[in-house]
Structure 1
């Protein structure tokens, strides 16, 4: 019997007013319904905001070390359930098991990291101009934070928004993506068992057009953090800022890896394959453009095609690369493959749906490589969000940087080179919020800032590390004339 999961509002597990539910299917076998979730509406979302607003003062006045203790205990509970959470993530999102386990571990690490930060939150003491005055600053919570998160990292992204928000003393309403909401509800379960007071966290499942819009527009919400597509994110940002709210958006990417003439083609192909085909290409930091010097291009393409064709595709529990999350995502990727061929790109690997009993029913796509790609083609300009890499040939390093920067996104970028001067030039000139040398575009440390340039971000506040706390705090300056 399929389990029906409830919303978490004001410390209780409750059904939606609509009485309707959402079925989440296993993307490796859509005939299997993994779980049912509440198909909530604006009224459900408003109830969640009311609960968060009512709990705000008490939570803000809770000492930082006590808030940290709850976060630490929640992280410990998540660690105890790591296998269970990994199973759930694989079943709902389709990610290969090692990737899913790594994502769950990241959520655990995030909670433990911010548990220590909660005790360190404070201000600075300054010297006053006159005698008899203490002059200092205080960091205080913004208030009620609305978090809207995507399906591709369904536990890590909620964790890296939620943990700093709670550590700083904010209350939270969270809307996880409807395609894979289960692990986000497990965060609420762990925090509830760890002793989080009622109303401090509220999780409501349902469509963004109703639940998300109410979160953003509700007068009691003070800050909105959104991760998702550029088109939706820009609307979210406009709606939130028009209402005078603090807003943070992290959006798409069209991430390049520049392969210099000094690079080892086999090493470069391994870096690009890992960045482009890992997580089935469903990462905002995935490498979708390999910008390759003409001297190493042929050998690089041969190596990359070999890696693409050798990847073991199938259900995530047993195979190296899992399915795309939905039929819609798979069809979108296949459409981009067709567009690339029609525009004149040359298909050298993949390009279709794999064959075999294990992949017959799921949303699988072959790892795909194109060459003869012009920088102006759609495959080189638009985010595909699938396991597709476009190889663009350039004649020198300057052209490589120009092509890398020649898109409207600027999230992550890497260079593969043995030339230290080229590496430094790339770090200085690449228009991206994350730049790497001799590494894949994917993979982030949790204690340093993350965010993009240009259309990849609102370019307001960064996420993760100390920077992640900045969005959720506001500074007060105190003049204490004693």
Structure 2
């Protein structure tokens, strides 16, 4: 069993209170680690350290190329240790090692991408309308950043926040989810190895209601970035209003997967499984809303049900496992209740809808992949994010109806369109009110492209050059090269 600590000002420390938390493996509920359980005072100390490091430290004043070099080194360290990191991630989250290794490769790519951007934006000179003057625009770091990451992609989401913040020259306090902190701790150890200065990155472990709230409320924090649920996002927005700090929120989605009759049938079915069941559906961009053209609906759903029955549940460390457990008993109960509500509101259960009977899975938080048919837009399971391996089925007859159904949501994170008619694909994707739209694919993302949502899916963007700009302030510098008196109220 691992014994881990928090990271403040370059030192590994316990919580001031001495409180600890057990970290549980969701596959079998075994305790895999003991970590500190911080409180408000620990958070305040971390913020103070980050403030001092920004105001008086070297990091924000280093040339961008030097910061970028550190991030390149970190990317190499992550690649060198990707097997260890992947196994930690699987222990912590229950996902398959195959998924976790892919995450680590993506994470290295994120740090490498922002390392390359660190020295690329030297500002710009703009033409001044005033004679004998210069005018330029520069970008500077925001300052102290509070970063709160979720439990489903602990290190990936941390990388999306840490990499641009570091590249821009900020200091930060990061709070990983209290139930999945292990890979964030390990990467912080790698940051030590590559020489990220003391106080630049501080890791506080503890609940969102205390530690996270302090990060959002503190007037010493200049930006708060949060990935998680909408209810918490609203609380963070209110808390951040105290000093009008910048906010960046990614708040989930209820993502449509629209299949037209002219799509490649086999590929669309296969990708519908991937869209909804990848990481047991615990993905903000999961394609849980299957919206299929009426003429192929029966055949499509029949095939989907048959393949769903064959999905292999098990340990993330077994090669043939296709889907691991949900994250916790609490979350399992939440998913179960949503499926019950769906049936109470008129949806038809076609497959799944219960915990597995396999004796080997009884100690884990497993839930069978599930399909609910006959769903309508007014149902709770259509409008609310289930965050589990549940597909809801809706049908349409016309292109306009498909667009209307897909957009009928408070969320707007991502969506996909399946068709062999590229003119139709262009019309539909342009009409969808979502931050990312895929055509004949689902789930791909890469560091060069921005990620974020419309409507209640959040504020701001991560990744891409826009992701770097979230962690920067824009300053205009005007210089008069021939100053002259203006004789303001001068008496003659």
TM-score (norm 1): 0.97
Cα shift at 1:130: 4.3
- Partner secondary structure for residue 479 of structure 1: strand
Counterpart-to-counterpart distance in 1, 2:317 and 2:479: 60
Say yes or no: does 1:434 pair with 2:436. yes
Q: Which residue of 2 aligns with 1:4?
A: 3
Task: Report what 2:447 is aligned to.
Answer: 446
Structure 1 segments unaligned to the other structure (5+ residues) = none
Quick one: distance in 1 between partners of 2:100 and 2:333? 23
> Which residue pairs with 1:408 in the alignment?
410
| Structure 1 counterpart SS, 2:15 | coil
- Quote the Cα distance in structure 2 between the aligned partners of 1:118 and 1:445: 18
SS at match of 2:288: strand
CA distance in 1: counterparts of 2:80 and 2:359, whole angstroms: 35
Equivalent residue for 1:328? 330
| 1:64 and 1:121 in contact (8 A); partners too | no
Paired position in structure 2 for 1:418: 420
State how far apart, in whole Å, the 1-side matches of 2:452 and 2:184 are.
22
Listed as ranges, the matches of 1:18-417 within 5 Å are 18-30=17-29, 32-57=30-55, 58-318=58-318, 319-417=321-419
| 3-state secondary structure, aligned to 1:155 | helix
Aligned partners of 1:40, 1:268: CA distance in 2, in Å? 46
Rounded to whole Å, the distance in 2 between the matches of 1:181 and 1:252 is 20
Residue 472 (1) aligns with residue 471 (2): yes
Instruction: Return the offset for 1:131.
Output: 4.6
Task: Tell me, yes or no, if the aligned pair for 2:114 and 2:468 is still in contact at 8 Å.
Answer: no
Deviation, structure 1 residue 368: 0.7
For 1:351 and 1:225, locate their aligned partners in 2 and report how far apart those are by CA, in whole Å.
35
Instruction: Describe the superposition over 1:185-225 as per-residue Cα deviations: whole angstroms up to 9, x where unpaired.
Output: 12211111110111000000001111111111111100000
SS of the aligned residue for 1:295 comes to: helix
- State how far apart, in whole Å, the 1-side matches of 2:348 and 2:253 are: 23
Alpha-carbon distance in structure 1 between the residues aligned to 2:380 and 2:37 = 35
The 2-side partners of 1:9 and 1:66 are apart by 23
Superimposed CA distance per residue, residues 211-254 of structure 1 (whole angstroms, 9 cap, x where no aligned partner):
11111111110000000001111111221134310111100211
Tell which deviates more after alignment, 262-271 or 358-367. Answer: 262-271
Aligned-partner SS, 1:84: helix
RMSD of Structure 2 on Structure 1 (CA): 1.2
- Please identify, of 183-192 and 282-291, the stretch whose mean Cα deviation from structure 2 is larger: 183-192
* CA shift for structure 1 position 125: 1.3
Deviations 1:148-171 (A, max 9, x none): 010000000000101100100100
Equivalent pair of 2:93/2:327 in contact (CA under 8 Å):
yes
**Is the deviation greater in 122-131 or in 20-29?**
122-131
Q: Provide the secondary structure at the position in 2 that maps to 1:29.
A: coil
Q: What CA distance in whole angstroms lies between the structure 1 residues aligned with 2:367 and 2:440? A: 27
Equivalent residue number for residue 485 of structure 2: none
The structure with the larger Rg is 2
CA distance in 2, matches of 1:355, 1:314: 12
Q: Deviations over 1:125-157 (max 9, x none)?
A: 122334543321111001000000100000000
Size of the alignment, in residue pairs? 477
Q: Deviations over 1:232-281 (max 9, x none)?
A: 11111221134310111100211001111222332221121111001110
Between 1:71-80 and 1:150-159, the stretch displaced more is 71-80
Give every structure 1 segment of 4 or more consecutive aligned residues whose post-TM-superposition deviation is greater than 4 Å: none
Q: TM-score, normalised by structure 2?
A: 0.95
Query: For residues 59 and 92 of structure 2, what CA distance do their matches in structure 1 show?
Result: 33
Q: 1:38: how far off?
A: 0.8
Distance in 1, matches of 2:126 and 2:253, equals 42
